[in-house]
């Protein structure tokens, strides 16, 4: 589970937090859960289903209708669970069962049926066609109005601080001595697999030679029923990679290092993170109200 990806990293200058290892009194950490790669800053990061974004889209639809145009965004129910390749914090997971099924690819981010995924993709394509050059100005205007209704404060993104801290913690964790030593062991384990351009650590997999096994690249979404399209060689290498990450101690070292780095970041920034979380919760409440009102009129 070394292949971890964070979405929406904000541009905020934050110093390294690796040197701060103690947890501030009163700061409550979640329970560690290695298989889902649960981390201390998850509670302050953007949720899997962003209701504020969906409410924003709803108001944009209204704005387009007022101008005599049609626009429809896809909707994700708040109870929707992540797809099996993901956790609730938008973090991509990697382990032997997933490698055996998807290779270096991954499931859809949400746990949806083929019909639901197809509908979402169809709506997205229609939006791309609807918002052409002629509607760009209208879309920007509608977007500004909808964001003003949702945001309600000067904080442009209440999740930005958590995402930025997580990015710094990630860099600190993977630069740490235990993780680098474990990466050396992983490389020794992988030598027998026969990857000609084997990198120095798992985060650089798939290597170019493995990525080239599929025209679109191997790190792609694989829809339900398409798992059989994974090239056998990619699947073989991915499974070996996942096994070596465990046997070398890399998966455990990476998780523990990232956990410790995020715990230190949470401890050092607890008050500010809580302030941002209060704002995020207010936006979710406003979003739920907007979505409920529109649901009742449709």
- What does pLDDT average to in each consecutive run of 10 residues of the chain (298 residues)? 38 44 66 96 93 91 86 86 92 96 91 83 73 71 87 76 96 97 98 97 96 78 72 96 98 98 96 93 91 74
CA distances from 194 to 2, 130, 187, 207, 258 (A): 20, 48, 11, 12, 29
- Asked whether 85 and 98 are in contact (CB, 8 A), the reply is yes
Please give the pLDDT value at position 144: 87
List the one residue out of 212, 216, 215, 250 whose CA is nearest residue 234.
Answer: 212
Please give the pLDDT value at position 197: 97
Please give the pLDDT value at position 11: 36
Please give the pLDDT value at position 191: 97
List the one residue out of 198, 220, 216 whose CA is nearest residue 207.
Answer: 198
| 3-class DSSP state of 86 | strand
- Asked whether 206 and 91 are in contact (CB, 8 A), the reply is no
Please give the pLDDT value at position 175: 97
Please give the pLDDT value at position 108: 87
Span between the terminal Cα atoms of the chain, in Å = 44
Q: Cα angle vertex 281, ends 42, 92, to 5°?
A: 25
CA distances from 172 to 106, 110, 152, 178 (A): 26, 29, 35, 11
Please give the pLDDT value at position 242: 98
**CB-based contacts of 3: which residues, under 8 Å, 6+ apart?**
92, 94, 104, 202, 203, 205
């Amino acid at each position: 589970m070394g292949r971890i990806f964070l979405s929406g990293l904000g541009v905020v200058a934050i110093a390294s937090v690796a040197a701060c290892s103690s947890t501030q009194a009163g700061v409550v950490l979640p329970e560690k859960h290695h298989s889902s790669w649960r981390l201390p800053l998850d509670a302050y990061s953007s949720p899997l289903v962003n209701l504020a974004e969906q409410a924003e889209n709803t108001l944009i639809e209204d704005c387009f209708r007022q101008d005599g145009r049609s626009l429809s965004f896809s909707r994700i129910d708040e109870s929707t669970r992540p797809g099996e390749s993901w956790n609730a914090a938008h973090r991509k997971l990697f382990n032997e069962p997933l490698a055996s099924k998807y290779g270096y690819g991954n499931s859809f981010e949400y746990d949806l049926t083929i019909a639901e995924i197809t509908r979402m993709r169809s709506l997205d394509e229609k939006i791309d066609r609807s918002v052409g050059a002629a509607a760009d100005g209208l879309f920007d205007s509608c977007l500004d109005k909808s964001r003003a209704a949702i945001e309600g404060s000067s904080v442009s993104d209440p999740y930005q601080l958590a995402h930025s801290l997580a990015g710094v913690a990630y860099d600190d964790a993977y630069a740490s001595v235990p993780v680098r030593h474990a990466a050396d062991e992983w490389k020794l384990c992988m030598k027998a697999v026969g990857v000609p351009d084997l990198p120095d650590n798992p985060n650089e997999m798939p290597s170019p030679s493995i990525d080239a096994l599929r025209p679109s690249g191997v790190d792609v979404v694989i829809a339900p029923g398409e798992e059989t399209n994974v090239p056998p060689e990619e699947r073989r290498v991915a499974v070996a990679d996942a096994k070596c990450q465990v046997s070398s101690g890399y998966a455990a070292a990476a998780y523990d290092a990232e956990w410790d780095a995020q715990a230190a970041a949470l401890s050092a920034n607890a008050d500010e993170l809580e302030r941002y979380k209060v704002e995020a919760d207010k936006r979710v409440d406003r979003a739920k109200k907007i979505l409920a009102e529109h649901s009742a009129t449709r």
